Structure 1
Amino acid sequence: MTTPAFTPWILGLTGGIGSGKSAAAQRFIELGVHLVDADQAARWVVEPGRPALASIVEHFGPGVLQGDGQLDRAALRQLIFADPEQRRWLEALLHPLIGQEIFSYLAKAESPYAVLVSPLMIESGQYRQVQRILVVDAPEQLQVQRTLQRDQATPEQVEAILKVQASREERLSHAHDVLVNDRDLAWLHAEVDRLHHFYLTLRGGQS
């Protein structure tokens, strides 16, 4: 088996809830960029039959399972939102496993660069494993408005999620590139296209 002549560099794509990072991620996929979503990887590691799920059930009890043996995310979320110590326990279990899942998938990339999408890029320390960071940013009022429309969440739930996520300032302090997504989808696509052409000129993610 021949190994590829290049190793794709990894772009970390992050942004707060409702910032539009999923729409930006979708555009990168349309442009043919190999992309992995940390949220998807987080779902893979807790599928029935995987060791992580057994550890979670052992720790929290069978109440975190649905009737079909799948993880009951809502039940688990209630347990950990109420108790920071339990959240830290869960993160310590899952973050390394999610990292393994992500990087084994990224290693298969055949595009000049690959994208890792993660809402908790900064908080989880994943930013240390990427070569460049793109932050999709939006005014907080707009983030809340979009999330309420999309998730049928309550304003209180959105505020709670914003509190757990890194602050905008913290995220932006790690950014190499910032895409302010406060207009329409066509504009967002044009911005991603522009960045994509720039990224194709980079070696190892640095200009």
Structure 2
Amino acid sequence: MSLCVGLTGGIASGKSTVGKLFETLGVPVIDADQVARDVVAPGSPGLRAVAEHFGAAFITPQGELDRRRMREHVFAAPDQRKVLESLLHPLIREALRAWRDALMTPYGILMIPILREGGFDSLVEHIVVVDVARETQRERLMARDDIDASLADNMLNAQADRADRLAMADDVIDNSGAPDNLPPQVEALHHKLLSLAHARQV
């Protein structure tokens, strides 16, 4: 079986950028955020379950999940976020496990922000954390999603803190500097992961 590597980090830490760099090296990458969108596609069982619990107000006239409204709702009410996770996480986990089991390369990257908080760490054997300071995350998140500081803080507070993420890391990628600092780190880690994957097969 291929080595499954979990790529995680706080929201707006740069996971997607790092994931794309791994893809340019020929490494399969699955984005759990995209899987989360897929399981609530129009007409899906996941979207029906969300509509049944939260109501039609969270479904757009086009039959899609109103993501912004749902995000504001669940990050303002942690108990509701747990309900949403209980509906969707089993569907997401099933899709990620199927992808992992079908890997044919030495290793693959499972990219997910809530790796340990969501219990998805059981799917991976090696954890890579993309690390930035919280204030950097906050600034990037507000700019990226066009949200205010209050919502940004709620979203950051819903995730593991920086120390907890670093404590679970087998490897760390520092994304606090300039963008051109990332490719050399990813390439070096790629060679390390290939070696680890090869060692498992011997």
Deviation track 1:140-178 (CA, whole Å, cap 9, x = no partner) reads 222222223322222222211110010111111111011
Partners of 1:194 and 1:172 lie apart in 2 by: 19
Partners of 1:43 and 1:115 lie apart in 2 by: 18
Q: Give the letter for the 1:156 counterpart.
A: S
Residue 27 of structure 2 corresponds to 33
Q: Given the alignment, which residue of 138, 148, 164 partners 1:144?
A: 138
- Superposed displacement of residue 125, structure 1: 1.0
Q: Give the letter for the 1:78 counterpart.
A: E
> Contact 1:9–1:112 at 8 Å: present in 2 too?
yes
User: Is 1:96 equivalent to 2:123 in the alignment?
Assistant: no
Partners of 1:177 and 1:65 lie apart in 2 by: 40
Ranges in structure 1 where 5+ consecutive residues have no aligned partner? 1-6
> Contact 2:10–2:159 at 8 Å: present in 1 too?
yes
Partners of 2:180 and 2:169 lie apart in 1 by: 23
Give the SS at the match of 2:127: strand
Residue 49 of structure 1 corresponds to 43
User: Is 1:193 equivalent to 2:171 in the alignment?
Assistant: no
| Percent identity of equivalent pairs | 40
Partners of 1:10 and 1:143 lie apart in 2 by: 26
Query: Where does 1:156-175 land on structure 2 (aligned, <5 Å)?
Result: 156-175=150-169
Give the alignment's TM-score, normalised by structure 2: 0.93
Partners of 2:3 and 2:184 lie apart in 1 by: 22
Partners of 2:145 and 2:3 lie apart in 1 by: 33
Residue 8 of structure 2 corresponds to 14
- Superposed displacement of residue 205, structure 1: 8.3
Q: Give the letter for the 1:148 counterpart.
A: M
> Contact 2:76–2:154 at 8 Å: present in 1 too?
no
- Superposed displacement of residue 47, structure 1: 0.7
Deviation track 1:18-50 (CA, whole Å, cap 9, x = no partner) reads 211111011011111011011001001111221
Name the one with the larger helix percent. Answer: 2
Deviation track 1:100-156 (CA, whole Å, cap 9, x = no partner) reads 111212333232100000011121011122000000001122222222332222222
Residue 60 of structure 1 corresponds to 54
**What is the Cα-based RMSD across aligned positions, in Å?**
1.6
> Contact 1:64–1:76 at 8 Å: present in 2 too?
yes
Provide closer, same or farther for how the CA distance between residues 204 and 174 of structure 1 changes in structure 2, counting only shifts above 3 A: farther
Size of the alignment, in residue pairs? 200
User: Is 1:105 equivalent to 2:112 in the alignment?
Assistant: no
Give the SS at the match of 2:109: strand
> Contact 1:12–1:115 at 8 Å: present in 2 too?
yes
Partners of 1:54 and 1:130 lie apart in 2 by: 30
Partners of 2:83 and 2:2 lie apart in 1 by: 33
Q: Give the letter for the 1:81 counterpart.
A: F
Partners of 2:108 and 2:96 lie apart in 1 by: 11
Partners of 2:142 and 2:42 lie apart in 1 by: 31
Partners of 2:73 and 2:140 lie apart in 1 by: 26
- Superposed displacement of residue 180, structure 1: 1.5
Residue 129 of structure 1 corresponds to 123
